[in-house]
Chains A and B, each alone.
Chain A
Amino acid sequence: MAERLERLLSATSSAVKFGEGLGASEVEAYVTSIDSRRVVLRSRVETLYTSRTDGLGVRVIIGKRIGFFATSSLAVRDVKRSVETAYSIAKVSEPDMEWFSLPVESGKASVEETFDRETAEMEPSTLVDGAAQMIDAVNNGGERLSITRGEVSVARLETVIVNSHNCNSHREETFASASISVKAEEGGLKGVSSEGQQTRSWRSLDCSSIAQMAAERASRVIYAEPVVGGRMPVVWCNKLFAFVLGIMFGGTLSADSVQKGRSPWVGKVGRCIASENFNLVDDGLLRGGLGTREFDDDGIPQRVVTLIDRGFLQGFLYDSYTANKERRESTGNSSRDYRSLPTPSPNNLILQPGRIESGELVEDVGRGLYLVETIGAWLSNPISGDLSATATNAFLIEDGELTKPVKGVIVSGNFFDILRHKIDLVADDVHNLGSTYSPSVRVSEMKVTGE
């Protein structure tokens, strides 16, 4: 493996040296190498994938002119050609008057559980076993169940960033994930459900229970129906609410969208935008977090950033470029792919837990909706705050109890209004959907359009 790191280090440092030799004032080389192993399944195992993909992105700066080129080949001749191309693009580009410099405050924070040796060096049979467990779990659930698509995967990611200042950083991470969609059919009716888990190590995945969960939920909603609509309390399950948070805050708290005037939070720092029980942080150092890293994609140490404190907006997420524009410090939120330039985005966006158990969210609800899965929520608009989703897996709450399964109702409301006035309870059951973490919450009133 040392040989592989050698290759990444040599590609990056030679790119920077070569660019400087051409006469560039600053050069940055960002390289990633990904080992990915993946099994795709339906009712049986379908396709087995294994790949190693490298990528190098070179930024060449001449004064305030910026050129960029990306390549998937780290061969010496391709690295050289990439730098030359980025250099010639910089020469013909117009100066970016807001350019300050490439990152100068590089370094490493201390983080835990972002790399797992066993996951990195996974045996082929282990991964296939995981897939088999999912298939068995669904098959054991009875004849009416079938898998429409499933996948288990592990990946090992190595990143090296070198720039003309003092940055020369290397990090190594692992990821494991399992996901499944199950269909249950009976008497011409059908129910569907999807479940998944994303972690840093294979060991912490539970393929069987993910599949069981999807199977149970799919069965549960075969006979589910829309209910009479109206305005009512709506409980959002943790992972589902994490999805909503990602859509509403993932882009809008980025300094890039604020500076371009595309965020609804422009000019709102210090103002109350949410209820008192709403505390949102971006914790780039969360133990084992999906977005936890020693340093961000600019090479700057990640940290904990308070975004909303007891309802008050505290600030935004910055990478080096957007921070320089405002002559302030980066928050360590640079994120990119080797093919693109960095932009600020959340590392681990976390809605802090409340003190009550999730069961208590329904206790004093006379009539309401308990949402587990929806479709169409991604069409919600983070600029206008319009939130709308169609329930595919939900329960009716009657007198503090989950009574009958529900699907096909549309839940809608304005997220800004919900945030400010209607999140009346926050539970303690935080779960992640990718790198967004949320507990289950109760919204005191939303519009439910049903029968």
Chain B
Amino acid sequence: MNLARSLIDQALTLGASYASIMYHEVDSSMITAENGMLKSYVAGKTSGLGVRLIVDGALGIAASTTLNLRTLRQRVEYAVKMAKAAKNRVELTNLSEGEAIEASSRLRLIEEPDSMSDEEKIATTLDANKSAMLEGVKNSVTRLAWLRERRIFNSSEGTDLTCELTITGFAQSCVSSFQGSMEYFSDSRSRCAGFEFISKTDWCRFSREVSETSLKAVRARVPKAGVYRIVADPDLVGLILHEALGHASEADLVMTKESILEGRLGEEVASPLVTIIDDGTVEGGYFLPYDDEGVAKSRQVVVERGFLRGFLHSRETGYRMEVPSTGNARAQSFDSKPIVRQTNFFMEAGDQSFEELVEGVDDGLYICGRGARGGEVDVGLGTFTFRTGPSYVIKRGEVGEIVRGVSISGMILETLKGVDAVGEDVAIRTSIFGGCGKDGQIARVGHGGPHVRIGRVTVGGET
């Protein structure tokens, strides 16, 4: 990109010691059906260019949606002036060693989104929506979404990267009622893939199953509160790891002592059965071969057989903690600053079958993350509370009746130390419908793991 080269030269001439350019383009569409009717079809495209520069140790970001050289130059000039005005008042920014990379990485698609006509897309959404409208379902919402994202990164160090991906997804939510009580349940499936993911899946069946689960859940009882031995499904394992451990392993929070993992490198933080990885390119996850500082995303072992081995770094935190970046610097868009984020954060497989995990539970619960309704985490204290999705009772080694209104809470490190068996079946999921929020920025992530059995977990329910 000549534009990029010219802006980098301008920044260097004005006194910057480093400059990088990120062009970011997102094309997104979503079709929503509600109660048998097409509710909306909205689409949009955002694109823009951001310049990140360091002047006398001050970090400035200049951005514009107008890609004309004159406008961009004015922005860069203003950013340099701000940086110079802040001299002596700034927290000095420096980056860890970086190497110049030239690469182009495009996720391969089999079917382009355009291969399916608008009429077919609407029909697919409507058919699934109607399949979910079983007796007792008060509200059925179905969404079909697809998005193409392109990032181009250039830096004064000579890096020149292009990354392109497509993600598609389908979501169903239902409100069911039974004898005056209501239950909301939703589930979705997304893939970094083309429309082959949509055209080759039976979405009517998917939506009907979501509907059936919500109808079963609304009739279900709430389990008695207490401490249980549980089997957690991959969705719940992913959710807990991402929120309670993943954020704590982000080096910026470690540096400001906001993380419970601060000062614990090399310590035993989980059961020896537990190994936790952050990887930019895994089956089922989001596609992140490079980060937004132009660093190749490495496979980072965070926990190895129970021992804390490393944190997630950007070049900024890497410099401060004297380690290389792990390729975890991500920016929501061209106008935001890359900050330390997880990519695909998950637990590695063990050797137990699902049946073996359940057999080991005499009186407990099989708790599922599908349809989880959020929660609260204190990264500094390591505490968590989640309202999970509809779950199941386990009696004498067998999965039994469905239960609703389950929440779990605990201390993350105690919970991970309590893992007494790990399944052989890893499932990692990402989502087009949501993302993880930090410092006002949203990032798409992947998370998951195998089924896991945990010795003692506090379950909230009926008291």
Contacts and interface: CB of A to CB of B under 8 A. Distances in A.
A94 B38 contact: yes
A339 B48 CA distance: 15
A124 B78 contact: yes
A128 B337 CA distance: 18
A45 B89 contact: yes
22 contacts: A37-B78, A37-B82, A45-B89, A48-B59, A49-B61, A50-B60, A51-B62, A51-B75, A53-B63, A53-B64, A53-B65, A55-B65, A68-B43, A69-B44, A70-B44, A70-B45, A72-B46, A73-B45, A85-B43, A93-B38, A94-B37, A128-B82
Contacts of A82: 45
Nearest to A132: B89
Given A68-B42, A124-B85, A339-B46, 11 more contacts: A39-B82, A44-B89, A45-B90, A49-B60, A50-B61, A53-B64, A54-B66, A68-B40, A68-B43, A73-B65, A127-B82
B219 to A, nearest CB: 23
B81 interface: yes
Interface of A: 37, 39, 42-55, 67-75, 78, 82, 85, 88-89, 92-94, 124-125, 127-129, 131-132, 135, 339-341
Contact of A46 (B66, B84, B90, B119): B90
Nearest to A128: B85
What are the 4 closest A-B residue pairs judged by CB atoms, nearest first? A70-B44, A51-B63, A125-B85, A48-B82
B71 interface: yes
Nearest to A127: B82
A414 B73 CA distance: 55
B89 A92 contact: no
Given A50-B82, A72-B48, A44 B66 contact: no
A256 B86 CA distance: 46
Interface string B40-84: 111111111010000000111111111100010001001101111
Contacts of A69: 42-44
Contacts of B322: none
Contacts of B291: none
A69 B50 CA distance: 24
Given A71-B46, A72-B65, A132-B89, A50 B41 contact: no
A269 B85 CA distance: 56
A254 to B, nearest CB: 18
A140 to B, nearest CB: 15
Contact of B61 (A44, A47, A53, A54): A47
Contacts of B78: 37, 50, 124
Contacts of A93: 38, 41
A44 B50 CA distance: 23
Contacts of A125: 81, 85
A422 B85 CA distance: 52
A339 B44 contact: yes
A214 B40 CA distance: 45
A124 B75 CA distance: 11
B118 interface: yes
A53 B333 CA distance: 12
A19 B84 CA distance: 47
A165 B337 CA distance: 42
B76 to A, nearest CB: 9
A53 B50 CA distance: 11
A44 B90 contact: yes
Nearest to B38: A94
A74 B66 CA distance: 8
A131 B82 CA distance: 12
Contact of A44 (B60, B64, B91, B122): B91
Contacts of A45: 58, 86, 89-91
A61 to B, nearest CB: 14
Q: Which of B48, B59, B65, B335 has the most CB of A within 10 A?
A: B65
A48 B63 contact: no
Residue with the highest number of chain A CB atoms closer than 10 Å, among B43, B50, B67: B43
A92 B119 contact: yes
Contact of B89 (A54, A70, A73, A128): A128
A54 B46 CA distance: 9
Nearest to A340: B42
B60 A53 contact: no
Nearest to B117: A92
Contacts of B44: 69-71, 339
Nearest to B52: A47
A42 B91 contact: yes
Given A37-B82, A85-B43, A89-B43, A135 B335 contact: no
A39 B65 contact: no
B41 A46 contact: no
Given A52-B75, A128-B85, A46 B37 contact: no
Contacts of A129: 85
A52 B86 contact: no
A36 to B, nearest CB: 8
Contacts of B41: 67-68, 89, 92-93
A68 B43 CA distance: 7
Nearest to A34: B65
A436 to B, nearest CB: 20
Contact of A88 (B66, B71, B118): B118
B118 A89 contact: yes
Nearest to A57: B44
A44 B88 CA distance: 9
A384 B320 CA distance: 49
Nearest to B62: A50
B81 A124 contact: yes
Nearest to B339: A47
B43 A51 contact: no
A72 B82 contact: no
A67 B84 CA distance: 47
A339 B46 CA distance: 9
Contacts of A89: 41, 43, 118
Contacts of A49: 60-63, 79, 335, 337
A124 B77 CA distance: 10
A73 B48 CA distance: 8
Contacts of A132: 89
Interface string B111-123: 0000000110010
A74 B47 CA distance: 11
B152 to A, nearest CB: 15
A69 B41 CA distance: 9
Contacts of A127: 82
A307 B57 CA distance: 53
A52 B91 contact: no
A54 B335 CA distance: 12
Contacts of B58: 45, 48
Contacts of B60: 47-50
Contacts of B90: 44-46
Q: Which of B41, B46, B81, B119 has the most CB of A within 10 A?
A: B41
Contact of A48 (B79, B119, B335): B79
Nearest to A51: B63
B61 A48 contact: yes
Contacts of A48: 58-61, 79, 82-83, 86
